[in-house]
Amino acid sequence: MTITFIGHGYVGLVTACVFADLGNNVFVIGRNHDKIAKLNAGEPLIYEPGLKELLEKNLKAKRLHFTLDYGEAVPKSDVVFIAVGTPPKENGEADLTTVLSVAEEIGRHLKSGYTVVSCKSTVPVGTNTRVKEIIDRVKPQQSKVEVASCPEFLREGTALLDTLNPDRVVIGSDSRKAIDVLLELHKPLNGERIITDLSSAELIKYTSNAMLATKISFANLISFYCEATGADVETVLDAVGLDKRIGRVFMSPGVGYGGSCLPKDIKALKKIGDRLGVDTAFLAAIDNTNIKARENFIGKIIKHSPGKKIAVWGLSFKPNTDDIREAPSTYIITALLKKGFTVSVYDPEALENSRRVFGNKLKYFDNPYETLQGNDALVVITEWNEFKQADLSKVKKLLLHPVIFDARNIYEPANLKELGFHYYSIGRKPV
């Protein structure tokens, strides 16, 4: 098929590269000349394992095309995916400005024939119906358009694997023909097919992210109990997770969830519930617990640090990405700076993005051990693999004081005790 993606963020770019690799002719429309030029030169703009190689391969095969011109792509396409951002407004509601303006551009550039327009952006219930109304209002009379909701469930850091091997492919539409077109397009991908109506498909994405956020906040809530009682959160959650009805996946204590999805989607789902008259106290509690988790960690550092010079390992909101949007690190570092701390930082991929946020307020290092010299304590925020296997004896020699604050419980307390560290983690007794 010939397909078009509007937007080249994580969702649009990764999915476009995968569908191109499956043999489709794929256009990707952006709105920034420099970014489109870089993408056409094989620079993916974001860090995602394997993405650069897949991008270069399909550019070379001439199956992947980046453009600013709707007229070059939309008229030729069997399917047009909307994959633009839906950032939160100040009140937490999803901002649909870009989605709706893109819908109008799609409508104006359609030609005669049949096209499926499918939304991959995370949008409130009823948005796809609005997209259809906008397109019908501006499209040529001879063109036939039907809409569908086809939400994505990829995880940054494993996005290529998730696109090729999803747990499920959700297709929501009132049109059997549109469903059949999307089923054919997704035929090479694994995963169970969920065929449903537009509203259900739109709500599935929000529900999925809300459940993931719930598990994280629940784990952090239990960590509060453990710190108050001397219990060990890892032991507690391991035992609870052995119940097959519950499981341990995603039920991990730390400093809360971040990234471009969970924080905004919890807030957006709450606003949807408020508008519908649904009691959203549960969602508010999830968000409040997430904030409390990072505040508790900040409090530990302020209370127990032997000095005000801190080294930080890990800036991205999770491993294997350079994304720092809503990352716990940004909140933690900002709070420490306000308290007069000086902060030296290292991250395998996210240094440049952090520079854009903090500028010269931080000291940046390209090597984790160099970050430690002259600092009073180490703070580990993101659980990159290289930190799990760090030479802790070397860490101890380089720090002014043998103190580690571990936001992800990646080290064993008994080992840190044996090495002579003061060690503060989440939901476990300090060493």
Apex CA 154: angle with CA 149 and CA 156, to 5°? 140
Residues 6+ apart with CB under 8 A from 363: 342, 343, 344, 345, 371
64 DSSP β-pair partners: 26
Amino acid in the structure at residue 57: K
CA distance 9 to 161: 17
CA distance 201 to 224: 35
**Per 3-state DSSP, what percentage of the chain is helix, strand, and coil (rounded to 5)?**
45, 15, 40
Return the C-alpha torsion angle 7, 13, 18, 20, nearest 10: 60
Whether the CB-CB separation of 183 and 153 falls below 8 Å is answered with: no
Q: Is 401 exposed, middle or buried (0-12, 13-18, 19+ CB in 10 A)?
A: middle
Q: CA nearest 300: which of 407, 208, 222?
A: 407
Three-state DSSP at 333 gives helix
Helix count and strand count (H, E) for the chain: 17, 14
User: Residue 342 — left, alpha, or beta (φ > 0 → left; ψ -120 to 50 → alpha)?
Assistant: beta
Q: Is 261 a catalytic residue?
A: yes
How far apart, in Å, are the Cα atoms of 205 and each of 151, 208, 246? 6, 5, 20
Rg of the chain taking only CA atoms, in angstroms: 23
Whether the CB-CB separation of 226 and 202 falls below 8 Å is answered with: no
To the nearest 10 degrees (0 to 180), the angle between helices 328-338 and 281-304 is 50
Amino acid in the structure at residue 96: L
Q: CA nearest 178: which of 141, 149, 137, 138?
A: 149
At 420, list the tokens.
């002579």
Query: Of the residues 119, 150, 226, 261, which is catalytic?
Result: 261
Query: What are the phi and psi torsion angles at 124 (to 5°)?
Result: -65, 160
CA distance 243 to 52: 40
Q: Catalytic amino acids?
A: 261
